[in-house]
Structure 1
Amino acid sequence: MNDSKIKNMDEFASVSGISRPTLSKYFNDADSVRKSTRERIEKALAQYDYQPNFYAMNQNRRLTKNVGIVIPYMADPFFAEIARNIENHVIEAGFRPIVLGSHGDPEQEIENLNNLRLIKPAGVLLAPLGRVSDRGRIAAFCEDVPTVLFDANIDNVGEAFIGSDNDQSIGLMVDYLCRTGQPPAFFEMRTPTNPNALKRRAAYIKAMNRLGHEPNLVQAEGDGWDFEEIGFREGSRVITERTLPTDTILCSNDRLAIGLLSAAYQLGLRVGLGPNCALRVAGHDDHPFSRYTCPTLTTVSQDYTSIASISAETLFNVIDSEHKSTSRLVTLFDGKLVMRGSA
């Protein structure tokens, strides 16, 4: 027996004259190599007293039970709710969820992915920031780690994308608002953070043209994730300036709508459907707070449950397949109209 202790598989490959891939194959499944090769390896093991580090091998093979869940903003109840749903599916499948928030910061988003890379996750479920995300570094991560995107899409990145059909949901709301009152203007951020906002803008224009109405964009100045503050500040401005082209406002998301509702109240405008109402306001997402505004917010609900379950199930299928798919899967769910007091 050789007195020198072999520290790792590379050293063992060097002293035994057997290639590292062949050794790795043997340690994964001894019967997968030829009998003569197996005998050479076993003789070398006895000679050099080498014991492989199976924990490290499992790490290298991504056999850990860790699954990362990365969302844009931990403090947003919308993302907290969908992360909670996904977390439950991950636990039920026997994996360990690790939930991280990017705080609206693209560098923090990459730091989250780098930290996950260190623990060799089985896979990652990622809701990217979107417009400000570092696409190149996220794409590089997804090449190394099985990753499924949800909520916001980055084209051709990750194994799959699971989200909402913005064309369908915005079209549904525009139809309703036009049917029940004046055609809506679209209240949005001029430079939206989330790519869903751009899809909703395009869907609004498409729906208005289809119905024979002139689209009207009311664009708010501001950037980042403080949507309520932007909705309040810019809503106050357009109401005070009396520049609204209609008494019906469709907001790009519920958080902007919540800010606009507050601005209308502050300026003495009554929002809703009654004869004394000066404004109708609608949103998108069915944010958990939308049912508690005053008046309660008319909106389009996203299918949290299906997005969470299909995102998790898709990732588990990718992990089980142990190879990259030849085509990227995209699954979109319809929204549902939620009629409340604001419109």
Structure 2
Amino acid sequence: MAQGKIRNMEEFAAISGISRPTLSKFFNDPDSVRHTTRERIEKALEQHDYRPNVFAVNQNRRKTKNIGIVVPNLADPFFSEIGRLVELACIETGYSPILLSSHGNPSMERDNLDSLRSLKPAGVLLAPFGRASDRADIQKFDRDVPVVLFDANIEGVGKAFVGTDNFQSIDLMVEYLCRSGEPPCFFEMKSPTNPNANKRRHAYLESMQRHGQDANIFQAEGEAWNFEEIGRAEGGRMLSENVFQTNTVLCSNDRLAIGMLSAAYGLGIRVGHGKGCSLRIAGHDDHPFARFTCPPLTTIAQDYAAIANRAVSTLFRILESDDRPSEREETLFDGRLVMRDSA
């Protein structure tokens, strides 16, 4: 029976029974695998007449084995964690990651992409600012170097996007909060740069309507990266002015929620679900510090590992394919409810 052409390394791994990381390690340095493994791979290559296209592509374009990873701010533990996982996934598959932070400055995102041009990366994984990103510059960069976006989506930009389904995750949280107590008000920044914030607001509105509840949105002034301070200052002001219609506040992200927890403590307001508590606070993201707040924060956990691994595997599949994808891909993972003492 005639064998169809193997299009990429994933297909070769499946048909040969050799793991993808082992194959990547071999193609990067044949001497890095055991002698018996090397013989097995070489026999499979001969049998299936396969060579990884990524090497031909890189040679023709004079690209390297470098993979650029650009995140908005490594000082944010969320991006430190997801950046770390993306970096490890690149290393496991035999590529050399170059992790860059834009330090909360959208113009530095453009500078980071310009810097990566000189390093001739095979591809770039970008967690963009979103509204503040230079869409035209990213699209121009993507014409020369394949770009896969993760965490924050910019419609029509890059070869693919991998992130969390905010409509699913917010609905999951709203359903829980309505079921376990008073329906939530929604607390967000007035001018967020990250497109996830806008999706979460719309998701909240839709979910509250489905549950037959009135939506109440409260917006904090401030556009800087210091979300905790904005949550503390603006959240504290709103708490002291008693503006929230219910005793439950769903914050657009965990960092705002952490700031509001601090404000509640300063005002002598006891947060939680137990006796003597008068306020419930919940967030979104499962920030690495969320479990250590006082009280620990109820939140939605994003699947960091799944997002990181899918973003990396999607980019490598694009690099190894004969044909560039004709349509932009989008992959969304469900969020997971994490119930802690704050709500």
Category of TM-score, reference length = shorter chain: 0.7 to 0.9
Is 1:225 the equivalent of 2:228? no
Quick check: 2:302–2:336 contact (8 Å CA) kept in 1?
yes
- What whole-Å deviation, never above 9, does each CA across 1:98-147 have from its counterpart, x for those lacking one? 00001121110000000001111000000001111111111111111111
2:212 is the alignment partner of 1:205? no
Query: Could you tell me whether the CA contact under 8 Å between 1:301 and 1:335 is conserved in 2?
Result: yes
* Distance change >3 Å, CA 276–CA 249, structure 1 → 2: same
Taking CA–CA contacts closer than 8 Å with sequence separation of 6 or more, which of the two structures ends up with the larger relative contact order? 2
Q: Which amino acid aligns with 1:134?
A: D
Mapped partners of 2:322, 2:106: distance in 1? 29
Q: Give the aligned residue type for 1:173.
A: M
Q: Which residue of 2 aligns with 1:37?
A: none
Match of 2:320 in 1: 320
Residue 241 of structure 1 and its aligned partner are, at CA, apart by 1.1
Matched, 1:334 2:334: yes
Question: Which amino acid counterpart does residue 112 of structure 1 have in structure 2?
Answer: N
Distance in 2 between residues matched to 1:130 and 1:90, nearest whole Å: 24
Q: Deviations over 1:49-107 (max 9, x none)?
A: xxxxxxxx967614310000000111111111111111111011111000000112111
The runs of at least 4 aligned residues of structure 1 exceeding 3 Å deviation read 57-60
The aligned counterpart of 1:35 is none
Superposed CA deviations along residues 143-194 of structure 1, whole A, max 9, x for unmatched, are 1111100000011111100000000000000000000110000000011121
Rounded Cα–Cα distance in structure 2 between residues aligned with 1:238 and 1:58: 55
| 1:259 lines up with 2:269 in the alignment | no
AA of the residue aligned to 1:339: M
- Asked if the contact 1:193/1:225 (under 8 Å) is kept, the reply is no
Identity %: 62
1:58–1:328: structure 2 CA closer, same or farther, 3 Å change rule? closer
Deviations for 1:11-48, whole angstroms, at most 9, x for unmatched residues? Answer: xxxxxxxxxxxxxxxxxxxxxxxxxxxxxxxxxxxxxx
CA–CA distance in structure 1, aligned partners of residues 211 and 58 of structure 2: 58
Structure 2 residue identity aligned to 1:315: L
Give, in whole Å, the separation in 2 of the partners of 1:60 and 1:216: 56
Letter matched to residue 203 of structure 1: A
**2:240 paired with 1:236:** no
Question: The residue matched to 1:201 in structure 2 has which SS?
Answer: helix
State the distance in 2 between where 1:140 and 1:324 align.
16
Letter paired with 1:242: N
Matched residue SS, 2:98? strand
Task: Give 1 or 2 for the bigger CA radius of gyration.
Answer: 1
Amino acid at match of 2:129: L
Query: Are the aligned partners of 1:86 and 1:308 in contact in 2 as well (CA < 8 Å)?
Result: yes
- Structure 1 CA distance, aligned partners of 2:169 and 2:88? 27
CA distance in 1, matches of 2:322, 2:297: 45
Q: How does 1:6-155 map to 2 (within 5 A)?
A: 61-155=61-155
Taking the aligned partners of 1:238 and 1:247, their CA distance within structure 2 comes to 12
Secondary structure, aligned partner of 1:327: coil
CA RMSD of superposed structures (Å)? 1.2
Partners of 1:108 and 1:310 in 2: CA distance: 26
CA distance in 1, matches of 2:88, 2:180: 40
Whole-angstrom CA distance in 1 between matches of 2:83 and 2:332: 18
Q: Structure 1: which amino acid aligns with 2:75?
A: A
Task: Please list, as runs of the form range in 1=range in 2, the aligned pairs for 1:154-169 lying within 5 A after superposition.
Answer: 154-169=154-169
**Distance (Å, rounded) in 2 between the aligned partners of 1:149 and 1:71:** 10
Q: Secondary structure at the match of 1:149?
A: strand
For 2:140 and 2:63, the matched residues in 1 are separated by 20
CA shift at 1:294, angstroms? 0.1
Q: C-alpha distance in 2, partners of 1:248/1:178?
A: 9
